């Protein structure tokens, strides 16, 4: 089969070499090759230009080089081709580690000690909450959200989750649906957003959402930047001095140099690094799905295009 590889990652050459090695029985191309796009069967992509997709008239499968799929669904020429998304355990572990690091930074009040160090001030001990005294809400309980929730649960944090529709499988912590979103928000000491980017999640975390959160709580966003109304968060921070935010994703990336988040004392900025995609592990998963497709002659999409995720 003919495979097209396209991505905008800095290490795209390493990806290409690894894919060629794993899919050695197939022909793997890039857009630099002189190819007829109508002959492409499989596309392994991240941020594929629409002008290329419009020429892939016989495409049978998309492999998304990440957990997100909005970079495919939002293309005007997308017509419902099955999408296989990466559900890589290594990615989930990295994201879970990132979330835990941000929770502990907030929980142990490390910001205070960091500021004190800069002014060479020896602070007294500060009271901090134990894990079982903190309720963490997972906003978006798909593969990654469920994994993170379970890991935090093992560390004795109280975990609840939010899912737009009832879960189709058993989850080890309570799940709130959209009818009880207000209860979910108000109960949490920390909210971890792993929402996808869809028309329904655009600016989902707005001023109304933030006002319902506890005044001294923490918001962690590792999902998609589109789900957070950034101006509303800045406004909320202005009136709530003990509210904190840890943000890994933004509406525009890289974050512009004049953005208010950079210098805000209650905001931690990380450059979309919460869950790096593991090359070898991800390619192995893609190859397994590909082999299964070749045997069965069909594949089930991991994405509901109507829901947008």
Identify the band that residue 198 occupies on the pLDDT scale cut at 50, 70 and 90: very high
The pLDDT of residue 308 is above 90: no
192: left (phi over 0), alpha (psi -120 to 50) or beta: beta
Q: What is the mean pLDDT of residues 151-173?
A: 91
Identify the band that residue 189 occupies on the pLDDT scale cut at 50, 70 and 90: very high
Average predicted confidence (pLDDT) for the chain: 96
Identify the band that residue 303 occupies on the pLDDT scale cut at 50, 70 and 90: very high
3-state secondary structure of 267: strand
Sign of CA dihedral 280, 285, 286, 292: positive
Q: What is the pLDDT of residue 200?
A: 93
Q: What is the mean pLDDT of residues 238-248?
A: 97
Q: What is the pLDDT of residue 184?
A: 98
Domains of the chain in sequence order = 2-88+278-296 (3.40.50.720), 89-269 (3.40.50.720)
Q: Is the Cβ–Cβ distance between 37 and 60 less than 8 Å? A: no
Determine if the peptide bond prior to 254 is cis (ω within 30°): yes
The pLDDT of residue 164 is above 90: no
Q: What is the pLDDT of residue 165?
A: 78
Report the chain's terminal Cα–Cα distance, integer Å: 27
Q: Is the Cβ–Cβ distance between 156 and 72 less than 8 Å? A: no
**Backbone phi, psi, residue 115, to 5°:** -65, -40
Q: What is the pLDDT of residue 64?
A: 96
Residue 156 DSSP symbol? T
CB neighbours of 308 closer than 8 A, spacing ≥ 6?
70, 73, 196, 197, 198, 199, 200, 201
């Amino acid at each position: 089969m003919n495979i097209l590889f396209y991505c905008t990652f800095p290490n795209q050459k390493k990806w290409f070499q690894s894919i060629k090695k794993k899919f050695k029985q197939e022909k793997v191309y890039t857009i630099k090759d002189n190819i007829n796009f109508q002959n492409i069967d499989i596309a392994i992509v991240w941020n594929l230009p629409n002008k290329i997709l419009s020429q892939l008239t016989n495409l049978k499968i998309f492999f998304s080089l990440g957990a997100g799929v909005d970079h495919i669904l939002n293309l005007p020429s997308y017509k419902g081709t099955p999408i296989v998304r990466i559900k890589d355990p290594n990615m989930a572990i990295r994201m879970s580690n990132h979330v835990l690091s941000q929770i502990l930074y907030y929980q142990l009040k490390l910001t205070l000690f960091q500021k004190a160090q800069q002014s060479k001030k020896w602070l007294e001990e500060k009271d901090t909450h134990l894990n079982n005294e903190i309720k963490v809400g997972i906003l978006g309980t798909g593969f990654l959200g469920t994994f993170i929730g379970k890991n935090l649960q093992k560390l004795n944090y109280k975990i609840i989750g939010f899912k737009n529709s009832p879960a189709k499988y058993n989850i080890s912590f309570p799940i709130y649906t959209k009818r009880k979103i207000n209860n979910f928000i108000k109960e949490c000491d920390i909210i971890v957003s792993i929402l996808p980017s869809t028309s329904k999640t655009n600016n989902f975390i707005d001023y109304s959402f933030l006002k319902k959160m506890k005044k001294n709580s923490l918001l962690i966003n590792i999902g998609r930047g589109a789900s957070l109304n950034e101006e509303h968060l800045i406004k909320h921070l202005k009136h709530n001095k003990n509210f904190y935010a840890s943000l890994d994703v933004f509406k525009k990336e890289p974050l512009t140099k004049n953005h208010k988040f950079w210098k805000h004392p209650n905001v931690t900025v990380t450059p979309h690094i919460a869950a790096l995609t593991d090359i070898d592990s991800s390619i192995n998963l893609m190859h397994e799905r590909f082999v299964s497709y070749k045997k069965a002659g069909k594949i089930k999409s991991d994405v509901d295009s109507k829901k947008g995720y």
